[in-house]
Amino acid sequence: LCQQATFIKSASLVTQCPPDIGLEVAFAGRSNAGKSSALNTLTHARLARTSKTPGRTQLINFFRLDDERRLVDLPGYGYAKVPLELKAHWQQHLDAYLTGRHSLAGLVLVMDLRHPLSDFDCMMLEWARKSGIPAHVLLSKADKLAYGAAKNELLKVQARMRKELRSDATVQLFSSPKRQGVEQAHEVLAGWLFP
């Protein structure tokens, strides 16, 4: 399914989003966390633009899987060089999408394994918990650590999420260049998109 993903459209306002029917899974993350790479790796396509100037695009990008299913690339959050008013716009834009979107079946939150659980990440997990949207965390760039160290980080993040955030989101290691964790992530997506 994910191999047939194609770009549908970008929206800078919620009113520009495609019709709110069927099911979609949204990808969120801090700028540079590896969200675009993860989307591309999971879809076998170069859908999302990986960028050295993070925070440049403030658009919600929609990718079609089939007539009733979509993946959604939410704008990367938190790059220091984005002006304040753009950040405010982003916040409103994201809020409107998250609170109003009926077809949203799950949230994938991408975090750099070496810098997990930023304020933004915690906010997203809290939002998911409160709104009852299931969340799954990809701890990206797992290839940057030795396997044992990565596994250890995974356990630490898991424990903090449960205890401090009372989040029941699932967590896994992920690496785009190594294609580590692709099957596990596909299973989660399939579970949400084919309930």
> Measured in whole angstroms, how far is the alpha carbon of residue 145 from the centre of its chain?
21
Cβ-count burial 55-78 (b if 16+ within 10 Å, e if not): bbbbbbbbbbbeeebbbbbbbbbb
Q: Which of 54, 75, 78, 106 binds ligand GDP (CB under 6 A)?
A: 54
Residues 62-121 that bind ligand GDP (CB under 6 A): 76
Closest distance of CB 74 from ligand GDP, Å: 10
In the complex, minimum distance from the CB of residue 119 to ligand GDP, in angstroms, rounded to a whole number: 16
DSSP the chain: -GGG-EEEEEESSGGGSPPS-SEEEEEEEBTTSSHHHHHHHHHTS--SPP-SSTT----EEEEEEETTEEEEEPPPB--TTS-HHHHHHHHHHHHHHHHH-TTEEEEEEEEETTS-S-HHHHHHHHHHHHHT--EEEEEE-GGGS-HHHHHHHHHHHHHHHHHTT----EEEE-BTTTTBTHHHHHHHHHHHH--
With respect to ligand GDP, which residue has the nearer C-beta, 32 or 43?
A: 32
Q: Which of 31, 61, 103, 167 binds ligand GDP (CB under 6 A)?
A: 31
19 vs 148, beta carbon nearer ligand GDP: 148
* Binding residues for ligand GDP, total number by CB under 6 A: 19
> Site residues for ligand GDP, window 150-189 (CB under 6 A)?
175-177
Q: Which is nearer to ligand GDP, 75 or 163 (CB)?
A: 75
Minimum CB separation of residue 133 from ligand GDP in Å reads 20
Which residue in this structure is represented by tokens 């925070």?
Answer: 55
**Shortest distance, CB of residue 194 to ligand GDP, whole angstroms?**
26
Q: How far is the CB of 171 from ligand GDP (least distance, A)?
A: 15
Binding range to ligand GDP, per CB under 6 A, among 34-42, 59-67, 127-135, 187-195? 34-42
Q: Tell me which residues touch ligand GDP (CB under 6 A).
A: 29, 31-37, 50-51, 54, 76, 140-141, 143-144, 175-177
